[in-house]
Amino acid sequence: MFSVFDRNKTFKPRRKIEASNPRYEVHKLAHEVLKASLDTGNLREAVKVPDGYDVNDWISVNVVDLFNQVNLIYGSMCDKCTSSSCPVMCASPKYEYLWADNDRHKTAVKVSAPKYIGLLMDWVDKQLSNEAMFPSMEETKFPENYGSIVKTIMRRLFRVYAHIFHSHLDEIVACRAEAHLSTCFRHFMYFGWLFNLLPPKELEPLKDVIASL
């Protein structure tokens, strides 16, 4: 699925769910379902929770995969996204994003697109690595605020797609990867819709793209 991109240009190392992880079987199944859905052209089936599986487990492994997809897409053309070409993180002049993370940036700040996306990817990676938020052991329960954490991750990853579509589509087309971008975005959106993870207001920058889905 990722062969159209140069793996050596990955923006961040891909997160992996190791075979020793008790949730590896769910991860493996998610990939099998996705491959089968791509073969049939029905990505809506790829995001549905299989019978007998825990919905939080399913969401957990899929969020890792969706993060990796965005990571690889941006990584394929991040050398074109610079502080000079993209001095602000935006999705058209109408939508500008400020960064805040309740840690080093407690107050929202304006940063360049590559800086914003770098902070975003680091932040998401930190959440996915946090055992208290995304437990790897079956006996560890998901936190009560798990849903809100996942929604924030999805909302922020959507902003990377929004920036790519509005500011770097020419680069994607130049490397003949627009079909791959479309497939990954459809997968992302179907997953977000099914589990109600994306607020409608957040989707406004890509409403025309989304309408074409």
Whether residue 64 is contained in a domain is answered as yes
Convert the pLDDT of each residue in 160-212 to its tens digit: 999 999 999 998 888 888 888 999 999 999 999 999 999 999 999 999 999 98
As a whole number of Å, the end-to-end CA separation of the chain is 19
- How many domains does the chain fold into? 1
123 within domain boundaries: no
CB atoms closer than 10 angstroms to residue 32: 12
Q: Is residue 164 part of a domain?
A: yes
CATH of the domain at 179: 1.20.140.30
Contact between residue 14 and residue 72 where contact means Cβ atoms under 8 Å apart = yes
CA distances in angstroms from 201 to 11, 69, 155, 158, 162, listed in the order given: 28, 23, 10, 12, 13
Which residue range is the domain that position 67 belongs to?
Answer: 7-81+130-211
Higher-scoring residue by pLDDT: 35, 95? 95
Tell me the backbone φ, ψ of residue 12, rounded to 5 degrees.
-135, 155
- Residue 15 and residue 21: Cα distance in Å, rounded? 13
* Range from 16-25, 71-80, 90-99 carrying the lowest mean pLDDT: 16-25
The encoded tokens of residue 40 equal 């049939």
Residue 91 and residue 38: Cα distance in Å, rounded?
28
Nearest Cα to Cα of residue 184 among 38, 16, 56: 38
pTM: 0.88
Residue 89 lies in a domain: no
Residue for token digits 């406004």?
A: 204
Cα–Cα nearest to 196, from 69, 16, 59, 68: 59
**pLDDT tens column, 118-172:** 999 999 999 999 989 998 777 788 999 999 999 999 999 999 999 999 999 998 8
| pLDDT value for 18 | 67
What pLDDT, on the 0 to 100 scale, is given for residue 31? Answer: 76
